[in-house]
Each structure stands twice: as C-alpha cells, then as structure tokens.
A and B are shown apart, each in its own frame.
Chain A
C-alpha cells in the first residue's frame, strides 16, 4: 500500500458532510453550488497550487446500490471525496493549498463535520489527514515528471512542431535562423501557467 508512485503523491480524503440524513442533502447541495461556481483552467484555484497534476471533488450522496441478492447499504451521512495527484510530499502541499485557496476551502468544508478552518495550517493539515484514506495502488503514465517539467516539455513540443512544419519548405539559411529564433524564444518565454495548456 502506498500513496506514492515515484514522485507523485495520490491523496484520497473522505470527509463527512454535516446534517446526517436530516439536513445532509441541503449541505451537499450547498457544496455542489460552491463547486459549480469555481473557475477552471488557468483561473482555477488549483492553478495557484502549481504542483497539482489533477484534483477533483465528488459529493457522495450514497453508496451505489446493487441488485439482490446483494444487501442494500446506505450511508448515514453524505460524504465529500477529495482526490488529487500532485508532486509530493503531502505536508507542504496542504499548506500551499490552504494558503492559495482559503476562501474556496472554507466555503466547501464549512459544510463538513468538525472543520477547523484554514487559518491554522497545522489544524487544517491534521483535519485532512484524519479523513485521509490510504491509497492501495497508485498508477501513473509519467510518474517521474513534475507539473513544471510536463508544461515545459509541452511548450517545447509545440514550438518545435510549429517550427518543423514551416522548416520543411524553407531554404537552409532561413531554417537555421528560424531554429535559433525558436530556441531563443523557448529560453526567454515565461513558463505556461498550470491549467492553461
């Protein structure tokens, strides 16, 4: 069992939502409304946490039911699943997340049981770890590459792709000049923002 696959950490957190079966549905709906209002792409709060490869929230209303003869299971509360793959380790990531997106986290987790807030980073970290579930198996298609490395590689790939397409019809002198210009641009241009590629 491991939350790690090479340098990538897989965090799984399942947090009980307030209200049990009485008002839990209202809190779940409120969380969904907050999540639906969050921007995505380069404007996502996660873009400010640049080690995040992927992140998701799933509101769990109940366990999926199966046909008989399986027994029918029902949860006594709604739960919130947070799953993220990021460049580890865990503690700095949680600190970064709480610092970069305090309002979003507060709006979401204030509907969860025993949420301590994000002002005290240690308390917030302790809360998340209390609700963390150990990953049994984590698999990744490129587990040795950080988000920054992936974005830089994609930037280089796109630049070379564009260059190679036009280089095929250029005379050698123009091709050389265009190649040098492309490499200069690659060295000088700002890295692509997470969420923006």
Chain B
C-alpha cells in the first residue's frame, strides 16, 4: 500500500449522503461550481464568494487532478446472481485527488483557502462538521479516507508548479532559440540577458520529494542515503 508516489499523494475518500434530497443538494452544488468554473465567469464575477473560491482553488497550484463522483446506493454493480445484493442506507460520494505535499498540508490548505467551496460540496454529507474549525474537519476526513493499494504517476518527481512552469517555459525557449539562429554573438548575448528575466520564474527544481517514499529516495533534496 502506498498513498505516495514521488512528490504526488493519492488521496481517496468516501462520504455518505442521505438520499434523495441531500444527494440532490450535492448535485446542485456541482451545477453551481460548473457555472462558476469558466475563466470568463471567474474574471467577471470575482467578487462572488463561490467564484473567488474557484479562482483560489486553481491558484493553489498543488493539485494535479481531482475528481468527485456521486455513487447512488443502487450503482454498486451486481454482475452475477451469485453476488450478494447490496442494501445501503446512503448514497456515497467518492473524492479522489492527486496532489503535492503531505496529507495534513493539503487538508489544511483546503480548509484555510477554500472553506466555502468545501462546505458547499460536503455540507450535504452525513456528519460533516464544516471546514472550520480544522480539528473536527481533519478527524472527519481521516475517518472517511481509504488507502491506495497501487499508485502510479507518469512524472512522479515533478510538482504541479514544476509542470505549469515547464509548459510555460518550453514555448518561450523554442521561440528564443529560433530567433537566436540568425543572431551574431553580441546580439545573442544582449537577447539572452533580456530573455532570462522573462523566464526565470519558470525555472523550477524537479527531483525527488523531500520526504522518503522508499529507502533509495533522498531524505533531503540533493542528498543520497
């Protein structure tokens, strides 16, 4: 079992909602979030709390991918008559996320930065204590979390910020390199000195995570055990 893969943590939780009205409430919350998500809406309605939360969520920049999946209690598939029938009282919502950092940092940041957004989604869930204060919220999340048994990432040593920076740097570098082909030495040097300050914010340090995942991984960046 490992929830960690390099710099990424694979989080997974199941929370219960009472059907049908509270599940409908959750669905309605996602409709609102969908309406608040387009960039143009975020720009025009930045003063609306829900829209501001959307922007802050994007700006948090430590989530690779996250998903919410509402699973009605009758949607646990029965594929064969030999399989026992389910008889559940609640519908469930799966939350699955790939993020950088450790568990507590992640949940803390959610509680501190987008409490309104968290509450909008989970206020319909059974026994949800609200995102603030943090202590009962952390206890609730711990209780609902399921550990990951196998976790793969295509770029384990890169954080979300590393990736966004790299995706911004690469086209700028290619454009500069293309223009540099026709420059003499002096022109290249002047252009290079102008180019570096425009991209220096994209120079991230990819590499192993500062916490140990396996015995071969450095305890601190740049160190080998």
Contact = CB atoms under 8 A, between A and B. Distances in A.
Interface in A59-106: 59-60, 63-67, 70-71, 73, 75-77, 79, 81, 83, 85
A41 B16 CA distance: 34
B137 interface: no
A161 B204 CA distance: 8
B203 interface: yes
A92 B34 CA distance: 28
A77 B143 CA distance: 20
Given A10-B67, A53-B65, A136 B96 contact: no
B169 A160 contact: yes
A197 B68 contact: no
Contacts of B169: 153, 156-157, 160
B14 A54 contact: no
Contacts of B219: none
A141 B60 CA distance: 9
Given A56-B152, A130-B79, A154 B192 contact: no
Interface in A22-49: 31-32, 35-36, 38, 40-41, 44, 46-47
Given A46-B152, A56-B12, A160-B203, A67 B173 contact: no
Nearest to A57: B150
Interface in A106-162: 113-114, 130-131, 133-142, 145, 147, 149-154, 156-158, 160-161
B49 interface: no
Q: Is the interface of B mostly helix, strand, loop or mixed?
A: mixed
A56 B11 CA distance: 10
B5 interface: yes
Q: Is the interface of A mostly helix, strand, loop or mixed?
A: mixed
Contacts of B83: 16, 20, 76-77, 113
B152 A64 contact: no
Contacts of A54: 8, 10, 64-65, 98, 151-154
Contacts of B107: none
Contact of A179 (B8, B90, B148, B192): B192
Contact of B78 (A16, A161, A183): A16
A176 B105 CA distance: 43
Contacts of A60: 14, 146
A14 B67 contact: no
24 contacts: A12-B67, A12-B69, A14-B77, A16-B78, A16-B79, A41-B156, A53-B65, A56-B12, A66-B126, A73-B90, A77-B86, A81-B146, A114-B80, A136-B70, A140-B64, A141-B58, A151-B154, A153-B163, A156-B169, A160-B199, A161-B205, A167-B192, A195-B154, A195-B155
Interface of B: 1, 5, 8, 10, 12-14, 16, 27, 30, 33-34, 57-58, 61, 63-71, 75-80, 82-90, 92-94, 96, 98, 126-127, 143-158, 160, 162-167, 169-170, 173-174, 177, 180, 185-186, 188-189, 192, 196, 199-200, 202-206
By Cβ-Cβ distance, the 8 closest A-B pairs, closest first, are A153-B166, A76-B84, A157-B166, A114-B79, A35-B150, A194-B154, A153-B170, A20-B84
